Chains A and B, each alone.
Chain A
């Protein structure tokens, strides 16, 4: 077994009386494609928000790349190399595609306030570096021809790709994708599938994705965790998950498993 990049231990988060995430433990190994599935409201996005620091867990701990990040600020966690996309696309609408990606270069840009005011050589150098890297990533996502377009004017599929390009600009070790295929047609989904595998293979980034498109999930993930009512009911390979009656029950209700078989 190779080393874990993310260790989530017994993490719980409640909102009022609702237990959104209930004592979930997950160990995700380096360079894996790991999927988190479950019915709507199972706590998948809350789980992402806990891992990225947007929510603070009530109990439990989260260790990222050997460092305990429980309760840390999202910006700090992002700076350590954890990037994400959002279920409902959250781009910076009034900025160009290029600028969107450059925003995520913030932590990698060493321009001081004085540099920016005085336009020192360092400012020019760092700015060029940030722009070149951003253009590279846009090209990687086949968006370079859209660099100057405002993010909000891009078509839906390109916005999804731009979000991934922006996340990659953080130079992450771990990339969390929240329903990347939502609203995509079959061709776009297929294209996305190749890209996700590519990101892992080319850049060596571990990927965790939440997804409802089972064809996509089953064909690219190496391990799958199933959440239901905030609890992890199962973790295993796609085959194990596919054939488990608990999963079918979680999606279709109690008793459904027999009917299917």
Chain B
């Protein structure tokens, strides 16, 4: 039996079959959480197990580009889930450079997300008219792409500004200082509505321009798929996020396999030895910090456009910690780990806990009686406080504790590339 599972052909067949079955099930029942999870499971299995590359691409492409968008038309919540997962995955990949590769514990990572979000929010809305002349704001939506680059630069600059003093410290001290500096960015956003109104303070900024998608709708029209603007935006953001995740992953892999990636890992492993091997400490750390920050900045701009609304509340310490949880859960320094960690936490957060809450509520309202003979329980008596969605932090805490005990290296541990030599040939 065990041998059968090691057989690549059998495994391929199994994965292909499960992808088809679960994918079909999801298309038939777009609201079924179970079908959705099983489909993602097939995707994960295709990625993780030893099957031919073309099949991986086929299964991945079919699920990400066909099944989920198709099911998403019937249940747009899937797009919301996909886009949120994507945003967090990109940020987890960014934080993975800082924490996973360079070993710098950063607890203020949401600050860069805020910088990116406000960069587009201010200029992509009427807000900029408050402190800029010409009254040309909001800028047209097409500027969004340009401002994504601006957000990358701004976030990287913020990373250098925050990093220059902070990165002279190590370990716990660095964590506390980044926490403080990260909070400062949020407090700044909260208070920069006077004397000059830059961020509009606690009220936040809305509405924010979105990139134009007429071409996108027209493109689908040609294939006989007609969408209204409201239907098209979630799909558009979903595809945009997929593209960005692709780019971000590529950047991550390429840096990891360059002298910079090696220098970061060297610093993580042993600072003294790294310096003795000619690696300049502060510049290399700053580079890691700025790189991580820029990923976050890009996603911030996207977040602003997607939400149409930005306020300081979205960039709290809890956000930073959640992204850190994703990185640790997935496996520090591991690229697939960061993506998987982000997906797990987001789906748990946005979908599973809520579904569990709804389920319990249904049982409670129906007055369901659990009868195990000696043990009888009427769900109508279930206290209202018991709602999994309210316990997300406790659930994360439990997950982290269990991970630290049983698998401290994460779900998909970092594996230094053994393939380096093969690549050469």
Instruction: Using A73-B280, A127-B258 as known contacts, say yes or no to A91 and B273 having CB atoms under 8 A apart.
Output: yes
CA distance A87 to B204 in the complex (A): 57
Question: Within 8 Å of chain B (Cβ to Cβ): is A113?
Answer: yes
Question: Within 8 Å of chain B (Cβ to Cβ): is A94?
Answer: yes
Which residues of chain A are within 8 angstroms of B260 by Cβ–Cβ distance? 113, 116
Which residue in chain B gives the minimum CB-CB distance to A148?
B418
Instruction: Using A111-B259, A113-B260, A116-B254 as known contacts, say yes or no to A79 and B273 having CB atoms under 8 A apart.
Output: no
Which residues of chain A are within 8 angstroms of B266 by Cβ–Cβ distance? 92, 95, 103
User: Is the CB–CB distance between A106 and B262 below 8 Å?
Assistant: yes
User: Is the CB–CB distance between B258 and A93 below 8 Å?
Assistant: no
Q: How distant is B278 from chain A, measured CB to nearest CB, in Å? A: 4
Which residues of chain B are within 8 angstroms of A90 by Cβ–Cβ distance? 270, 272-273
Instruction: Using A113-B287, A119-B254 as known contacts, say yes or no to A95 and B265 having CB atoms under 8 A apart.
Output: yes
Q: How distant is A95 from chain B, measured CB to nearest CB, in Å? A: 6
Instruction: Using A54-B272, A90-B272, A116-B255 as known contacts, say yes or no to A102 and B262 having CB atoms under 8 A apart.
Output: yes
Instruction: Using A150-B416, A170-B278 as known contacts, say yes or no to A106 and B273 having CB atoms under 8 A apart.
Output: no
Question: Within 8 Å of chain B (Cβ to Cβ): is A47?
Answer: no
Which residues of chain A are within 8 angstroms of B270 by Cβ–Cβ distance? 90-92
Which residue in chain A gives the minimum CB-CB distance to B273?
A90
User: Is the CB–CB distance between B279 and A103 below 8 Å?
Assistant: yes
A92: contacting residue among B259, B273, B287, CB under 8 A = B273
Which residues of chain A are within 8 angstroms of B424 by Cβ–Cβ distance? 128, 131
B275: contacting residue among A75, A117, A127, A131, CB under 8 A = A75
User: Is the CB–CB distance between B263 and A103 below 8 Å?
Assistant: yes
Which residues of chain A are within 8 angstroms of B280 by Cβ–Cβ distance? 73, 75-76
Instruction: Using A86-B273, A92-B266 as known contacts, say yes or no to A78 and B278 having CB atoms under 8 A apart.
Output: yes
Which residues of chain B are within 8 angstroms of A116 by Cβ–Cβ distance? 254-255, 258-260
Which residues of chain B are within 8 angstroms of A103 by Cβ–Cβ distance? 262-263, 266, 274, 277, 279
Q: How distant is A39 from chain B, measured CB to nearest CB, in Å? A: 24
Q: How distant is A53 from chain B, measured CB to nearest CB, in Å? A: 8
Which residues of chain B are within 8 angstroms of A70 by Cβ–Cβ distance? none
CA distance A96 to B278 in the complex (A): 19
| Interface residue ranges of A102-148 to B (CB < 8 Å) | 102-107, 109, 111, 113, 115-117, 119, 123, 126-128, 130-131, 147-148
User: Is the CB–CB distance between A95 and B269 below 8 Å?
Assistant: yes
User: Is the CB–CB distance between A109 and B259 below 8 Å?
Assistant: yes
Interface size on A, residues (CB 8 A): 46
A60-103 interface code vs B (CB 8 A; 1 in, 0 out): 00000000000001111011000110100011111110110011
Question: Within 8 Å of chain A (Cβ to Cβ): is B196?
Answer: no
CA distance A52 to B277 in the complex (A): 10
Which residues of chain A are within 8 angstroms of B421 by Cβ–Cβ distance? 98, 147-148
Which residues of chain B are within 8 angstroms of A113 by Cβ–Cβ distance? 260, 287
Question: Within 8 Å of chain B (Cβ to Cβ): is A166?
Answer: yes
Question: Within 8 Å of chain A (Cβ to Cβ): is B313?
Answer: no
Which residue in chain B gives the minimum CB-CB distance to A105?
B259
Question: Within 8 Å of chain A (Cβ to Cβ): is B281?
Answer: yes
User: Is the CB–CB distance between A93 and B278 below 8 Å?
Assistant: no
CA distance A102 to B279 in the complex (A): 12
Question: Within 8 Å of chain A (Cβ to Cβ): is B4?
Answer: no
Q: How distant is A147 from chain B, measured CB to nearest CB, in Å? A: 7
Would you mind naming 23 contact pairs between A and B with Cβ atoms under 8 Å apart?
A74-B272, A75-B280, A79-B278, A83-B277, A86-B272, A90-B272, A91-B270, A93-B269, A94-B265, A96-B420, A98-B420, A98-B421, A99-B262, A99-B265, A99-B416, A102-B262, A103-B274, A103-B279, A104-B277, A105-B259, A116-B255, A117-B251, A148-B421
3 nearest A-B pairs in the assembled complex, by CB-CB distance = A116-B258, A78-B278, A92-B269
A interface residues, Cβ below 8 angstroms from B: 52, 54, 73-76, 78-79, 83-84, 86, 90-96, 98-99, 102-107, 109, 111, 113, 115-117, 119, 123, 126-128, 130-131, 147-148, 150, 166-167, 169-170
Known contacts A106-B278, A113-B287, A119-B254; 17 further A-B pairs (Cβ under 8 A): A54-B276, A73-B280, A74-B275, A86-B272, A91-B273, A92-B269, A94-B269, A95-B266, A95-B269, A103-B279, A104-B277, A105-B259, A106-B263, A107-B278, A111-B259, A113-B260, A148-B421
